[in-house]
Structures are given as structure tokens and as C-alpha cells.
């Protein structure tokens, strides 16, 4: 009988693949009340993405508070960040088909001739959402070991910090759409809880760093 030996690197990828499947199952399991399929998918990807983003941004401060090693990059935080970015991009693509079907340009422009930019809460929400999607896409491109080695840790980490910009734009986008769509209270509370969790963890991590260096 032939024995198959699994190399450590193979085990590593099996473990990460299982984690990705779990994250996919969690994202798929988030459903929303609206009967419209596109609206439901838009909401699900938004809240699942924000949940993964909150956890990924909270892992660093958690390690600091627990006095654990906090490496520049580790697989759990990277995998959560990857799914947060993927869901953000998917949400942007689906969201552009929800309200103005067949006229995506109207999310950003009131009219084309003459050109007039979409303003007000609706225009603000869409432009900051687009900005967040672009930043997430950039982060997805560099979320791998090849990019880290080619750019060097310092430059790679400086680009990775744009995750905080993406987070701020995402929160601004979310607040605007809470008002535009007059969301039901459970979803408002869920959004507020995730946003508050991000702010609290970042504040605690910052305080931990300042106390240790002060």
C-alpha cells in the first residue's frame, strides 16, 4: 500500500482553503429582508464585507492588548481582508444595478449633455463608495507574498495602511445610504455596532502603543 506524504506547504494551503470556504459560507449566510434579489445581494455583500473588515482591522489591536506578537502580515488577517475587499467590489458592481437599472451613469451624473455631477446625499454616497471600491481593489492586488517581497516590507505596509482610508470611505458611504434608504432599525443598529467596534478597537490599540512607547 502506497503512503501519500503531505508536505507542510500543502497543509498550509489546505488550511487556508478551508478558512476561505468558511468565510464564503459566512458571507453567503447573511441575508436581508428585501424581496428584490439584487437589493438583497447588495445588502448582504455590504454587511458581510463590513463585518470582515471590522474583524481584520481589529486583529492587530487585539494582539497588542493581549501582548501577543503582532507581525506585519499574517494569514488570518490577510484572508479576512481579501474577503472584505472582494465583497466590497462585488457590492459596488451589484449596487450600481439596484436603483437606476440600465442607467448606471446616473449614480454619478445628473445628466451628460451638458455634464452635471450628481450632488446631495445620493451623489456623495456614490462617489465615496466608488473611492472605497478603488482602494479595496488596490489592496487586493497587493495582498500576496510576491508583492510584499518585490516592494519591501516598509513600502508594502505603507500601502496596506490605505485599508483605514477604505474603511473611512466605507463608513461614510454606509451612513449616507442609511439616510437615503431609511433603513430599518435592525440594520442601522448592526451598522452602528460594527462601526463602533472598529473605532473602539483602533482607539484601544493606539492607547496601548502610546503607553508602551511613552
Question: What are the extents of the domains in the chain?
Answer: 36-209
What is the reported pTM?
Answer: 0.84
- Amino acid 4: pLDDT: 41
Q: Which helix (H) or strand (E) holds 196?
A: helix 185-213
Ranges of beta strands (E only) in the chain are: 109-112, 115-117
46's CB contacts (< 8 A; 6+ apart) are: 87, 91, 95, 174
- Amino acid 30: pLDDT: 67
CA dist 201 and 197 (Å) reads 6
- Per-block average pLDDT, block size 10, for the chain (214 residues)? 53 81 76 68 90 93 87 85 93 85 81 84 92 95 90 90 95 93 87 95 90 70
- Amino acid 191: pLDDT: 93
- Amino acid 189: pLDDT: 93
Amino acid at each position: 500500500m502506497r503512503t501519500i506524504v503531505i508536505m507542510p506547504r500543502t497543509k498550509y494551503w489546505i488550511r487556508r482553503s478551508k478558512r476561505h470556504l468558511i468565510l464564503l459560507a459566512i458571507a453567503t449566510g447573511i441575508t436581508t429582508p428585501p424581496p428584490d434579489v439584487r437589493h438583497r445581494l447588495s445588502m448582504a455583500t455590504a454587511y458581510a464585507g463590513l463585518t470582515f473588515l471590522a474583524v481584520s482591522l481589529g486583529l492587530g489591536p487585539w494582539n497588542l492588548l493581549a501582548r501577543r506578537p503582532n507581525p506585519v502580515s499574517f494569514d488570518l488577517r490577510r484572508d479576512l481582508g481579501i474577503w472584505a475587499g472582494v465583497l466590497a467590489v462585488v457590492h459596488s458592481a451589484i449596487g450600481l444595478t439596484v436603483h437606476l437599472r440600465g442607467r448606471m451613469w446616473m449614480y454619478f451624473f445628473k445628466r451628460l449633455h451638458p455634464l452635471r455631477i450628481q450632488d446631495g446625499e445620493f451623489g456623495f454616497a456614490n462617489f465615496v463608495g466608488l473611492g472605497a471600491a478603488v482602494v479595496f481593489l488596490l489592496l487586493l492586488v497587493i495582498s500576496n507574498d510576491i508583492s510584499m517581497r518585490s516592494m519591501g516590507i516598509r513600502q508594502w505596509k505603507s500601502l496596506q495602511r490605505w485599508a483605514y482610508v477604505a474603511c473611512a470611505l466605507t463608513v461614510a458611504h454606509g451612513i449616507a445610504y442609511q439616510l437615503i434608504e431609511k433603513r430599518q432599525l435592525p440594520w442601522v443598529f448592526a451598522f452602528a455596532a460594527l462601526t463602533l467596534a472598529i473605532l473602539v478597537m483602533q482607539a484601544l490599540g493606539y492607547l496601548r502603543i502610546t503607553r508602551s512607547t511613552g
